[in-house]
Amino acid sequence: MALSLLASAASAQTDDFQAWLQALRQDAMTQGIAAATLDRAFAGVQPLPRVIELDRQQPETTLTFAQYIDRVAPPARRDAARRHYLDNQALLDQIGQRYGVPPRYIVALWGIETDFGQKIGTFPVIASLATLAYDGRRSAFFRHELIDALQIVQNDRIDPQSMIGSWAGAMGQSQFMPSSFLNFAVSYSGNGPPDIWNKPDDVFASIANYLARSGWQAGQSWGEQVTVPAGFDSSLDGMPQKRSLADWAALGITRADGSALVAAQADSTNRAALLQPGGSDGPSFLVTDNFNVILRWNNSSYFAIAVGYLADSAK
């Protein structure tokens, strides 16, 4: 009897999903998606229970800054960033020159997102996005990403079966959501659609293009760790509090090694914000406008500082 009830519930869910999918097909066609594209993309697509499970099991606990850095940018990954930069230096330098983005930031983002291309995910992107759009916490967001994924299949002629990624639909070695793929993914050689799954030149160029088009400023670092004097005014901590390096130096802030801020950079008008992500007892950083660009990739100061750490390690 129990098995019969479970089978009935599963059948009802399948019917509901297919009805939802038919309505989405109609919506997609009004947005220019051809019926043939929809047939290819949705062939055999069913809700993925594992995706729903992962979505509903998002961790509620918040890592401290120190815990986050230990997890995302541990010494082993910093060493690996250097090795991967050296292994790909010729290609990375070419791409860096084309886009005006230092290669070390490309390596850092590649390392954090997929452990340098080793962990791109195994979920079918179309099915994952359809599952989350049908039964997720952020249905509207994932519905938009699903439509963008269909645009990729149609316009870039990418086999939907090869579009694999994370359970949330982030794709390839750069972990681009479909909207980011449409906006920033590039074919470095110009031959064929971008392949951020298998081609390192496309992966690196797409990351660089993302940063460049998001406002990356050549010749400027992400920031650096600094030392603040005892009794420093904590109200000056935060992204809106941008000041020149000369102003920060006048308030007693030095580089982490104790040397003067302005001596380290002749342009004393370069403005930076003070961040203390672990509180006043943790490390302090002065961060630049390029830090804000990294935040456009992932709006987390922990993430952006981890990128900075890895980028500095890859020099």
| Any domain includes 105 | no
Do residues 141 and 166 share a domain? yes
Mention every residue, 6+ apart, whose C-beta is less than 8 A from residue 48.
123, 124, 127, 128, 131, 167
Torsion of CA 209, 210, 211, 216, to 10 degrees: 80
Do residues 161 and 137 share a domain? yes
Angle separating helix axes 89-99 and 200-213, nearest 10 degrees: 30
| Any domain includes 184 | yes
Give the model's pLDDT for residue 61: 65
Do residues 35 and 160 share a domain? yes
Q: Give the model's confidence band at 6: pLDDT under 50 very low, under 70 low, under 90 confident, else very high.
A: very low
Give the model's pLDDT for residue 281: 83
| Any domain includes 141 | yes
Domain final residue pick, 184, 210, 236: 210
| Any domain includes 312 | no
* pLDDT tens digits, one per residue of 212-242: 999 999 989 999 999 999 888 878 877 777 8
DSSP conformation letters of 79-126: HHHHHHHHHTHHHHHHHHHHHT--HHHHHHHHHHHHTTTT----EEHH
Best CA proximity match to 315, nearest among 109, 107, 114: 107
Comparing 270 with 245, the larger pLDDT belongs to: 245
| Any domain includes 243 | yes
Contact 190, 202 (CB under 8 A): no
Structural domain harbouring 186: 13-57+121-210
Give the model's pLDDT for residue 56: 85
Outline where DSSP puts E strands in the chain.
Answer: 123-124, 164-165, 223-227, 243-244, 254-255, 271-275, 284-287
Q: Calculate the average pLDDT of the chain.
A: 90
Do residues 206 and 249 share a domain? no
The encoded tokens of residue 296 equal 């456009």
Domain final residue pick, 163, 178, 210: 210
The residue annotated as part of the active site, out of 53, 113, 145, 224, is 113
Give the model's pLDDT for residue 240: 73
Candidate from 1-10, 132-141, 161-170, 304-313 with smallest mean pLDDT: 1-10
Best CA proximity match to 185, nearest among 198, 204, 168, 159: 204
Tell whether the model's pLDDT for residue 17 goes beyond 70.
Answer: yes
What mean pLDDT comes out for the span 292-310? 96
Do residues 50 and 126 share a domain? yes
Give the number of domains in the chain: 2
Do residues 131 and 196 share a domain? yes
Do residues 140 and 283 share a domain? no
Give the model's pLDDT for residue 74: 97
| Any domain includes 108 | no
Tell whether the model's pLDDT for residue 150 goes beyond 90.
Answer: yes
Comparing 270 with 243, the larger pLDDT belongs to: 243
Domain final residue pick, 166, 185, 210: 210
Do residues 42 and 168 share a domain? yes
| Any domain includes 309 | no
Give the rounded percent of residues in the chain with a pLDDT score beyond 70: 92
| Any domain includes 263 | yes
Do residues 27 and 128 share a domain? yes
Q: Is 60 a catalytic residue?
A: no
The C-alpha atoms of residue 266 and residue 96 are separated, in whole angstroms, by: 24
Give the model's pLDDT for residue 9: 41
Do residues 135 and 280 share a domain? no
Do residues 137 and 259 share a domain? no
* pLDDT tens digits, one per residue of 83-133: 999 999 999 999 999 999 999 999 999 999 999 999 999 999 999 999 999
Do residues 27 and 126 share a domain? yes
Please report, for the domain that includes residue 193, its CATH number: 1.10.8.350
Best CA proximity match to 91, nearest among 200, 190, 172, 174: 200
Give the model's pLDDT for residue 195: 96
Tell whether the model's pLDDT for residue 22 goes beyond 90.
Answer: yes
